[in-house]
């Protein structure tokens, strides 16, 4: 792409983006992989095809680069369920607790947290802490998954991903009946009743790894539909069924055409910027995660 070269830009796409966006990206991955990659790259411009907290995370670790989010209004309802002011108040209720925030949170919430985590490393992050109590923000389902894998007391925030949270146990039963020889793999943002019925629970990166290494041929996938594109591409011959037709994140689909990516590059907008004081505090939480 001529424009990409002229701008010395790199296009990053989240695993939940539309197939055509994933196909034009330099790299497709989860938010942490993409943020890390952006900082290890000599591009001047990062076109982040994802939702706002992901582009913000890229901006937190890359202060000298221009970060573009082709759909300005691609937000994350889960991230919006926690704000810094409420977190500060909650911290006063639990002064002895460490604050762990899921990457699906605003820069302001990250800035008020001790350490950040992703769904791929949440258990390791929590277990690395010296505190016995952990305030886990903002996803209650990921918190409940972590609580199963730690001795620590987990105090969950009451947020949830609107896409994963609506999946029901009944849908797992139906999918298993329809495909009895398929393995059920779900994301930990799904409710506990769904997690209880799964053969494997993992982040998007974990699901990709699990499927690749599995000798099974059929999989029922319980995460946002966009991941099916990579699963099918990277595992020819294996068959995938989506657990629920509701597993579509409307915000991830707001970058609805390649033209939107081109427009962002052409106009150098919309740019994502983080206030420097907040950025430095949020960076500390992200860097603590990266250190373990
Ligand atoms: O960390 C991410 O990118 C998210 C939101 C999910 C995942 O499992 O990769």
- pTM value? 0.96
From the options 3.40.50.10800, 1.20.810.10, 3.40.50.720, 3.40.50.10490, give the CATH code of 2-75+253-274: 3.40.50.10800
Q: In the CATH hierarchy, which fold is given to the domain comprising 79-160? A: Rossmann fold (3.40.50)
Domains of the chain by residue range: 2-75+253-274, 79-160, 164-248
- Contact present, 165 and 190 (Cβ < 8 Å): yes
Encode the chain (292 residues) as per-residue pLDDT tens digits: 788 999 999 999 999 999 999 999 999 999 888 978 888 889 999 999 999 999 999 999 999 999 999 999 999 999 999 999 999 999 999 999 999 999 999 999 999 999 999 999 999 999 999 999 999 999 999 999 999 999 999 999 999 999 999 999 999 999 999 999 999 999 999 999 999 999 999 999 999 999 999 999 999 999 999 999 999 999 999 999 999 999 999 999 999 999 999 999 999 999 999 999 999 999 999 999 988 8
Q: What is the CA radius of gyration of the chain?
A: 19
Q: Strands, DSSP E only, in 16-121? A: 27-29, 45-49, 66-68, 98-102, 115-117
User: Using a 6 Å cutoff on CB, does residue 103 contact ligand 1?
Assistant: yes
Determine if ligand 1 sits within 6 Å of the CB of residue 121. no
Decide: 238 and 217 in contact? Cβ < 8 Å. yes
Our mutation pick for probing the ligand 1 site, out of 119, 141, 188, 222, counting the most ligand atoms within 8 A of Cβ, is 119
The residue assigned the tokens 């009895």 is 180
**What's the 118 CA to ligand 1 centre distance in angstroms?**
7
Q: Do domains 2-75+253-274 and 79-160 have the same CATH topology?
A: yes
Q: Which CATH number fits domain 164-248: 1.10.10.10, 3.40.50.10800, 3.40.190.10, 3.40.50.10490?
A: 3.40.50.10800
């Amino acid at each position: 792409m001529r424009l990409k070269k002229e701008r010395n830009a790199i296009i990053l796409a989240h695993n939940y983006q539309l197939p055509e966006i994933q196909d034009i990206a330099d790299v497709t991955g989860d938010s942490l992989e993409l943020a890390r990659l952006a900082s290890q790259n000599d591009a001047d411009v990062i076109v982040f095809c994802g939702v706002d907290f992901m582009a913000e995370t890229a901006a937190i670790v890359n202060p000298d680069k221009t970060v573009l989010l082709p759909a300005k209004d691609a937000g994350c309802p889960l991230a919006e369920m926690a704000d810094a002011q409420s977190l500060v108040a909650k911290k006063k209720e639990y002064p002895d607790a460490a604050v762990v925030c899921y990457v699906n949170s605003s820069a302001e919430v990250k800035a008020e947290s001790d350490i950040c985590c992703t769904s791929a490393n949440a258990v390791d992050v929590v277990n690395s802490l010296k505190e016995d109590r952990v305030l886990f923000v903002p996803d209650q389902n990921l918190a409940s998954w972590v609580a199963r894998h730690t001795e620590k007391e987990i105090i969950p925030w009451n947020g949830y991903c609107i896409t994963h949270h609506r999946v029901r146990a009944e849908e797992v039963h139906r999918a298993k009946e329809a495909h009895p020889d398929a393995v059920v793999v779900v994301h930990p943002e799904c409710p506990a009743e769904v997690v209880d019925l799964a053969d494997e629970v993992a982040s998007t990166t974990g699901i990709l790894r699990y499927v690749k290494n599995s000798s099974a041929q059929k999989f029922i996938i319980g995460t946002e539909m966009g991941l099916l594109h990579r699963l099918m591409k990277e595992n020819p011959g294996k068959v995938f069924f989506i657990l629920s037709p509701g597993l579509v994140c409307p915000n991830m689909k707001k970058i609805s055409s390649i033209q939107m990516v081109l427009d962002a590059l052409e106009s150098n907008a919309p740019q994502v910027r983080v206030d420097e004081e907040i950025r430095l505090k949020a960076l500390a939480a992200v860097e603590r995660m990266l250190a373990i």
